[in-house]
Amino acid sequence: MGTITTLTSLRRCGRACLGAARSLSPAAVAVTLALGVGGAGIADAATGGAFILGRANKETSPATLANTRGTPLALSAPAGRAPLAVNRRALVKNLNAQFVGGLGSAQLESTGGFGVTNSAPLTNAGAPVVETGDLRAGVYYVTATASMLVGTGGKGAGCWIQRRDGSGDFQSMTSVEGFVSAAETTAMLVPAGGSVQEWCSTFAAGSRGSYVQYAAITAIRILSSSPGFF
């Protein structure tokens, strides 16, 4: 209200006061008006006006902030508080974020392994017939298949998925001899640099002509860390 009072007084005192007002520099007038508006408690700044900190500012056209020497805007907030808030889910073009939901790009990146074997021996000792190769740490969805010929005396065969370090279990088996197929699916926690294999074995020693005709395995990472129940 100080500015309004001053302008009213100038109007009342006539030419003498008008001359004094003309002697004020433009900068002084701008500061006086800014103080007056701020003291009057104006709620927001309109398009083309000053941006007032701590108050609501409204625009009818985009406001642009540029810095030819570096980052044009830096926001800082206390621990546990978001430095930026938005009110819409609309796509923000060209936004490059380091984290999504607290996860970094390496954790979100789709990764996995794949392996194929066209021929492998099949005995009752059990051995890996196909392998994914080294994997990143995480929980993987793993599926494997095998086509086998179980020779006479083999009394069937079984295949299972296991890590290279030996963790696994039977998942597919048959007591039939001749051409048979196996298919397994599991979720498995794999350490960094570990791999996943499909193992196959006949049920009896001394089978004649048993072999794996074709085998394949696929591992797709579904979590970048253990969920706590493995």
Mean pLDDT by 10 residues, the chain (230 residues): 45 48 42 40 63 85 89 91 89 83 69 92 92 93 96 93 83 90 93 94 89 96 68
**Residue 197: per-residue pLDDT:** 96
Domain 108-223 has what CATH class? Answer: mainly beta
Give exposure, 142-152, as e/b (b: 16+ Cβ within 10 Å): bebbbebbbbe
**Hey, is 4 helix, strand or coil?**
helix
The residues that bridge with 157 in the sheet, in sequence order, are 174, 202
Q: Domain boundaries in the chain?
A: 1-60, 108-223
Q: How many CB atoms lie within 10 A of CB 201?
A: 22
* DSSP letters spanning 83-115: S---S-----TT---SEETTEEHHHHS--EEEE
